[in-house]
Chain A
Amino acid sequence: MPSRKRDQKVATTEHARDNGRELPWAVVYYLTPEGAAPALEFLDACPSTIDAQFTAVLDAVAAAPPPRFSGGGKWEAMHGAMGGWYEIRLTGPGREQFRLFCLLENGTSGEIAKRGLPRPAIAVITGMRKPWRTTFSDRDYKRVRDLGTEHQRNYPRRLAT
Chain B
Amino acid sequence: MDSQMLDVSLHERRRTRRLEDPEYRAAYEQAAREIAQTDAVIRALDALRIDLGVSKAELARRVNRNASSVRRLFTAGQVRPELPLIAAMADALGAELRVVPRTPQARRAVGEHPRQRRVAINA
Q: Does A3 sit at the interface, judged by CB under 8 A?
A: no
Sorting the interface of chain B by its residue count into under 10, 10 to 19, 20 to 34 or 35 or more gives 35 or more
Q: Closest residue to A26 on the B side, CB-wise? A: B8
Q: Does A69 sit at the interface, judged by CB under 8 A?
A: yes
Contact call A64/B39, Cβ cutoff below 8 A? yes
**In angstroms, how far is the closest chain A Cβ from the Cβ of B53?**
20
Count contacts between A and B, CB distance < 8 Å: 123
Q: Roughly how many angstroms separate A86 CA and B111 CA in the complex, as a whole number?
A: 33
- Chain A residue numbers with a CB within 8 Å of B9 are 161
Contact call A56/B32, Cβ cutoff below 8 A? yes
Question: Is the contact region of chain B dominated by helix, strand, or loop, or is it mixed?
Answer: helix
Q: Does A100 sit at the interface, judged by CB under 8 A?
A: no
**In angstroms, how far is the closest chain B Cβ from the Cβ of A128?**
16
Q: Roughly how many angstroms separate A70 CA and B21 CA in the complex, as a whole number?
A: 26
Contact call B35/A57, Cβ cutoff below 8 A? yes
- Chain B residue numbers with a CB within 8 Å of A74 are 35, 79-80
Interfacial residues of chain B within 68-82, with CB under 8 A of chain A in the complex: 72-81
Q: Does B102 sit at the interface, judged by CB under 8 A?
A: no
Q: Choose among A40, A69, A117, A161 the residue that contacts B76 (Cβ–Cβ < 8 A).
A: A69
Can you list, as one digit per residue, whether each of B69-100 has a CB less than 8 Å from chain A (1) or not (0)?
A: 00011111111110000000000000000000
Q: Closest residue to B35 on the A side, CB-wise? A: A72
Q: Does B59 sit at the interface, judged by CB under 8 A?
A: no
- Chain B residue numbers with a CB within 8 Å of A64 are 39
- Chain A residue numbers with a CB within 8 Å of B75 are 66-69, 77
**In angstroms, how far is the closest chain B Cβ from the Cβ of A126?**
15
- Chain B residue numbers with a CB within 8 Å of A55 are 11, 14-15, 18, 28
Q: Does A11 sit at the interface, judged by CB under 8 A?
A: no
Q: Does A98 sit at the interface, judged by CB under 8 A?
A: no
* 14 chain-A/chain-B pairs, Cβ below 8 angstroms: A27-B8, A48-B24, A48-B27, A52-B18, A55-B15, A66-B76, A68-B43, A69-B75, A74-B35, A76-B76, A76-B79, A116-B6, A156-B4, A157-B6
Q: Which A residues are closer than 8 A to B by beta carbons? A: 26-29, 40, 48-49, 51-53, 55-61, 64, 66-77, 89, 113, 116-119, 121, 156-157, 159-161
A-B interface, 9 closest residue pairs, ranked by CB to CB distance from nearest: A72-B35, A52-B27, A56-B31, A76-B79, A49-B27, A27-B11, A26-B8, A52-B28, A72-B38
Q: Which B residues are closer than 8 A to A by beta carbons? A: 1-2, 4-11, 14-15, 18, 21, 23-25, 27-28, 31-32, 34-39, 42-43, 46, 72-81
